[in-house]
Structure 1
């Protein structure tokens, strides 16, 4: 089944009260689309990274009370999991779609990656598109636009990755809900592919 694009119903899922009710809507409306995106992008990311990539659709299985405020599909080079590895994500909050490269707090080699990023600071600063955004916490929707960052501020994010146990680094784009809804499926796929290709150099630094 081909990816059909995101609709307002998908985003409204995150306004539904109750864990069971929201999870039912998520499984009905969003998860099939994430699975389709997984099937579409896994071969492309395998070629671009040189690693065999595997799809991981978020299950939110550990939740017993609070419903998820976002959901995603992740791509990593291990069939058993992704959280301890550098990976890519496509996902949704109520307000936007995110397309990321991510290294989150479970990853054991964050410190080394932070050092590598700092050593390549000028390259990363100059080659990252201005409209891309950075995040230091995947559990919050707030981001920092690359074009608004000074080189010193970016360096501080890389140093933080080395020194703070729970530190994270994510880079990519956010598509506002209204923009994502208006996009034809093929336009969304082309946009995501373009973003992933821009992010491959970060992945290869890890």
Structure 2
């Protein structure tokens, strides 16, 4: 599970030095957790979920302030598909269902979400959304205008949509790894209907 030393990775100065810390401290946690989640989620989605861990190979200057892994897509990648994200920055962990970087059939997926918006509205009150994966922020799902957010995702080329939960680094949940892992898994399970709807919309 993620602990203080994983969050402290983002205090490491320098691209090479921080990436070395990411590989040493964070990526093994991603691997272990993602393998557990995939084992639990695969029977529920009826297909294999492939684990991808971000390598940040295109970075040449700035050290990452966020790193992530993805579950879904195919062996070549995940961004063109709906996928589950597990990520971390210096302040919190994210568990998202993600639609980023212009996935295939995104207009159809966004429209399907608009037409079935009750699936989003009935999510637990601690769920949050993010509409730009390049910015570390989020807003509570009960405090945002979902119609506006989904319409922007559908109609604006740079529009994106992520929905899920966060766990702050101060959360006592992280002191009990088994409970934290269960909470994470429950988050992804809550998002399965949306994941399946997105895939139906792609057909």
TM-score calculated relative to the size of structure 1: 0.92
User: Does 2:14 correspond to 1:6?
Assistant: no
Paired position in structure 2 for 1:41: 37
* Aligned mates of 1:42, 1:99 — CA distance in 2: 14
User: Does 2:16 correspond to 1:20?
Assistant: yes
1:181 Cα deviation (Å)?
A: 7.1
5+ long unaligned stretches in structure 2: 199-203
- How does 1:60-139 map onto structure 2 within 5 Å? 60-125=56-121, 127-139=122-134
1:180 Cα deviation (Å)?
A: 6.3
Contact (CA 8 Å) 2:97, 2:195: kept in 1 or not?
yes
* Aligned mates of 2:118, 2:26 — CA distance in 1: 38
* Aligned mates of 2:14, 2:173 — CA distance in 1: 25
5+ long unaligned stretches in structure 1: none
Distance 1:90 1:181, change over 3 A: same
Contact (CA 8 Å) 1:13, 1:25: kept in 2 or not?
yes
CA shift digits 1:74-100 (9 cap, x unpaired): 100412211111000111010000011
TM-score calculated relative to the size of structure 2: 0.93
User: For 2:70, what is the secondary structure of its paired residue?
Assistant: strand
Distance 1:15 1:187, change over 3 A: same
Alignment coverage as a number of residue pairs: 198
* Aligned mates of 2:108, 2:127 — CA distance in 1: 23
Contact (CA 8 Å) 1:180, 1:188: kept in 2 or not?
no
1:182 Cα deviation (Å)?
A: 3.5
CA shift digits 1:42-97 (9 cap, x unpaired): 12221121121110011111111111111111100412211111000111010000
Question: Which one of the candidate residues 122, 138, 150 is aligned to 1:158?
Answer: 150
